[in-house]
Structure 1
Amino acid sequence: MARLYVSIIDAPPDYRLDCGVFSENAMVRAQLDGEWHARSAGDLVQRGRALILFGPQTRRMPVSVRGGFTSVGFALRPGSCRALGGPGEGDIVDRLSDPGLIGLTPGPWLDSLDLDATPEDWCRAMEATLRRLIAQRVPPPPDPVSVWFERASYEEPATPVHDLAERHGIELRRLERIVRRDFGMTPKQVLRRARTLDMASCLRGVVDRSEVEALMLRYYDQSHLIRDFTALIGMSPRQFVSQPQPLMTLSLETRQARRLELLARIGPGEAPPWLDHVMCEGKAETGGRHPIGTALPEFSRKAS
C-alpha cells in the first residue's frame, strides 16, 4: 500500500462540479456518498455509494460530481494488483474495475465505513481490512527494480531511461519488461507522466516552493511543456490554472506528500511545505488561483 486518503467536499445538492483525477498508482476508492460520473477508457460510468478499483492512469480522467461527496481509499504500489492475485496493472490502465479482482468484497468493505465516523476511524478500518487481506493472500515483496524506478520517477524524471538503467546496472530490456509489468506502461511513459504531474502540482500550488525552478527546467522549451501537459491533462497550462480544480488538486497534493516522504524531504505524517499557504487561502480550492500559481505570472503566461 502506498497511501491512505480521505476527501470530503461540501456543496449544495444541486451543484455540479466538473473536474478530474489523475493517479499514477492503482487506487481503491470508496465513494461513501454523492452522485458522480467518470469516463473510464472511453465509457461513461455513473455511481453512487460504491467501492471501485481504479487502474493506474496514463492521463487525467474526467469526473463530474453533483452535490457534496465523501471519498476514502488507498493507493497501491506498482505491481500490487498482480501480487494480490489480480490482473496486471497493464490490464486495468485507465479503467474502473471490480475490487473483487484483488480480494476486496464491496459490501463488507463499505459496511465497515460508517458515514458518521471520523476520518481517523475510516483510515484505521481500511488499514485493518488491508492487513487481513495481505495475511490471507501472502503477496511476495515488491520487486526491487520497481521500488528503485518509482523513486527515480519522483527524483529525476527528466533523466533518459537508458541513463537510469546504466546507472543502476540493469539491462535496458529487463527494466522495460519489469516496468511494463508493474506500472502498466513503458518507462518513458512513467517518467513523462511524473514530469507532468509535478508541473501540474506547481501550477496548483501544492509543491515545495524551492523546487519550482527545477521543475520548470525539466522541459526543453515552452512548446515541449505545452505539448506534454495538454496531452496528459487534457487542457493547456493556462486553462489548468484559470479553472477550479478541487479534485485534481486533492489528487496532486496526495501524490506530492508521498513523493516528499519517499525522498526523505519530510517525515511520515509531517505537514507538507505548502500547507501554510493553503491555510492562508482558507481552503485549497475556492475557484481562484492557488498561491504559487499567482506567484508565477510570467511562467503562467509563457505556458499558456
Structure 2
Amino acid sequence: MSTFYLTEVRPKNGQIIGDWLHPEWANLRFISGEGPTAAIGDAEPQSVPLFSAFGPTSKATRFESGAMRSWGVGLLPLGWSKFVDAPAEHYADKAVDGSLDPMLAALAELHDIIYSGEAGGPDREVARISAFFSGLLDKGPPDNPMIAEAHAILVDPDLATVQAMADRLAISGRTLDRLCRRAFGFPPKLLLRRQRFLRSLAENMLNPDQNWVSSLDHQYYDQAHFARDFQRFMGMSASDYKARPHPFLNAAVHGRMAAAGAGMQALHDPATDRTT
C-alpha cells in the first residue's frame, strides 16, 4: 500500500468544490456524507458510491464534492495483486461500485467497520483499517517478488526504455508486457511515459513559483514534448491546468510529501516503509 488518507470537506453555504486528480495507482474510497461526482477522462460525471474502487488511471479524474468525509486506501501494484483477484488491466481508467463487484466483495464490509465502529476519531478509524487488511493477508495469494522488483525499477527516474526495464528484470519484452498489464494496469511503454509526466507535474506543484520549463523531467526533449504528454494525461494544456484552482491537490501533494516522502502516489517508492 502507499497511504491511508482522510479527506474532509466542509464547504460554506452548500458550496461545491472541484479539482482534477492526476493519473495514479488504484485507490479504494470509503465515503460518509454526500458522495462526490467523478469522471475519468472524457466520461460523463457519475455519483461516486459509498465504497468506490478506482483502478489505475492514465487520465485525469475530474471530481466535485459537497460536504464529505472519505477514507482512502492507496493500493500499489503488489497490493492490488494481493487483495483483488482480477487483472488490474480490467479496471484501468475505470471506477466501480465496490459493493456490487464480486472481485471486491471481501473489501466491502470495511465501510461499516470504519464508520459504524466505536467513536474515537481518525486514530481509531485508521487502526480499524489497518487491522482489517492485516486480517486479509493470509487469505490472499503469496506475494510475487517480480511485481515489487518491477515497481522499484519503474520509479527509477533514470529508467528510459522498456527494453532497459526488461533487461534489468532479466525477462523478455512479452513477459514484461503481460506482467505490467496484470499488476500495473497498462503496458510498460505507457507506464514509463506516465512516470516521466508525473515527475514533472509533481515538481511544479511542490514548487508552484517555477515555470513549466524549470519543472521538466530530464527525459523530455523539449517543452513541446511535455505539452503533448500533458494533453494526453490531463485532457487540457499545462497553462489551462495552472490557471485553475486546485484546492484538493495542492493540499494533498504537500501533505503526502511530508507524510510519505513522495508528492504523488505513482511516485511512491515501494521499498519505503513510510505508510502513513
Q: Do Structure 1 and Structure 2 share a fold, with TM-score over 0.5?
A: yes
Q: 1:221 maps to which residue?
A: 222
Closer, same or farther in 2 for the Cα pair 1:45/1:234, shift >3 Å? Answer: same
Closer, same or farther in 2 for the Cα pair 1:24/1:52, shift >3 Å? Answer: same
- Match of residue 121, structure 2, among 114, 118, 123: 118
Q: Deviations for 1:54-101, whole angstroms, at most 9, x for unmatched residues?
A: 1110111111112x3222121112154454353211111111123352
Whether the aligned pair in 2 keeps the contact of 1:79 and 1:88 (CA below 8 Å) is no
Q: Distance in 1 between matches of 2:64 and 2:132?
A: 29
Over aligned residue pairs, what C-alpha RMSD do you find?
3.0
Q: 1:51 maps to which residue?
A: 51
Q: 1:90 maps to which residue?
A: 89
Q: 1:140 maps to which residue?
A: 142
* Residue identity matched to 1:129: F
Q: Distance in 2 between matches of 1:158 and 1:85?
A: 28
Whether the aligned pair in 2 keeps the contact of 1:21 and 1:251 (CA below 8 Å) is no
Matching of residue 8 in structure 1 with residue 8 in structure 2: yes
Q: 1:276 maps to which residue?
A: none
Q: 2:76 maps to which residue?
A: 77
Q: 1:33 maps to which residue?
A: 33
User: C-alpha displacement at 1:117, in angstroms?
Assistant: 4.0
Q: 1:238 maps to which residue?
A: 239
1:150-161 equivalences under 5 Å are 150-156=151-157, 159-161=160-162
Whether the aligned pair in 1 keeps the contact of 2:9 and 2:65 (CA below 8 Å) is no
Whether the aligned pair in 2 keeps the contact of 1:5 and 1:73 (CA below 8 Å) is yes
Q: 1:177 maps to which residue?
A: 178
Matching of residue 189 in structure 1 with residue 197 in structure 2: no
Question: SS of the residue aligned with 1:39?
Answer: strand
Q: 1:102 maps to which residue?
A: 104
**Which 10-residue stretch deviates more, 95-104 or 254-263?**
254-263
User: C-alpha displacement at 1:196, in angstroms?
Assistant: 1.5
* Residue identity matched to 1:91: H
Q: Distance in 2 between matches of 1:205 and 1:72?
A: 23
* Residue identity matched to 1:24: E
Closer, same or farther in 2 for the Cα pair 1:252/1:174, shift >3 Å? Answer: farther
User: C-alpha displacement at 1:157, in angstroms?
Assistant: 6.1
* Residue identity matched to 2:105: G
Q: Deviations for 1:29-48, whole angstroms, at most 9, x for unmatched residues?
A: 11122341111472431146
**Which 10-residue stretch deviates more, 247-256 or 220-229?**
247-256
Q: Distance in 1 between matches of 2:184 and 2:275?
A: 26
Whether the aligned pair in 2 keeps the contact of 1:197 and 1:252 (CA below 8 Å) is no
- TM-score w.r.t. length of structure 2: 0.81
* Residue identity matched to 2:140: V
Question: SS of the residue aligned with 1:113?
Answer: helix
Which has the bigger relative contact order, CA under 8 A and spacing at least 6? 2
Closer, same or farther in 2 for the Cα pair 1:251/1:96, shift >3 Å? Answer: farther
- TM-score w.r.t. length of structure 1: 0.74
Whether the aligned pair in 1 keeps the contact of 2:60 and 2:234 (CA below 8 Å) is yes
Q: 2:249 maps to which residue?
A: 248
Q: Deviations for 1:202-256, whole angstroms, at most 9, x for unmatched residues?
A: 221179x9xx968532211010011101210122222222211133335545482
**Which 10-residue stretch deviates more, 175-184 or 116-125?**
116-125
**Which 10-residue stretch deviates more, 51-60 or 234-243?**
234-243
Q: Deviations for 1:94-116, whole angstroms, at most 9, x for unmatched residues?
A: 1112335233354x422222396
Q: 2:61 maps to which residue?
A: 61
User: C-alpha displacement at 1:5, in angstroms?
Assistant: 1.3
User: C-alpha displacement at 1:269, in angstroms?
Assistant: 6.5
Q: Distance in 2 between matches of 1:229 and 1:20?
A: 13
- What are structure 2's unaligned runs of at least 5 residues? none
Question: SS of the residue aligned with 2:180?
Answer: helix
Q: Distance in 1 between matches of 2:179 and 2:193?
A: 17
**Which 10-residue stretch deviates more, 96-105 or 55-64?**
96-105
* Residue identity matched to 1:86: D
Closer, same or farther in 2 for the Cα pair 1:237/1:85, shift >3 Å? Answer: closer
User: C-alpha displacement at 1:144, in angstroms?
Assistant: 2.5
- What are structure 1's unaligned runs of at least 5 residues? 271-304
Q: Distance in 1 between matches of 2:207 and 2:141?
A: 34
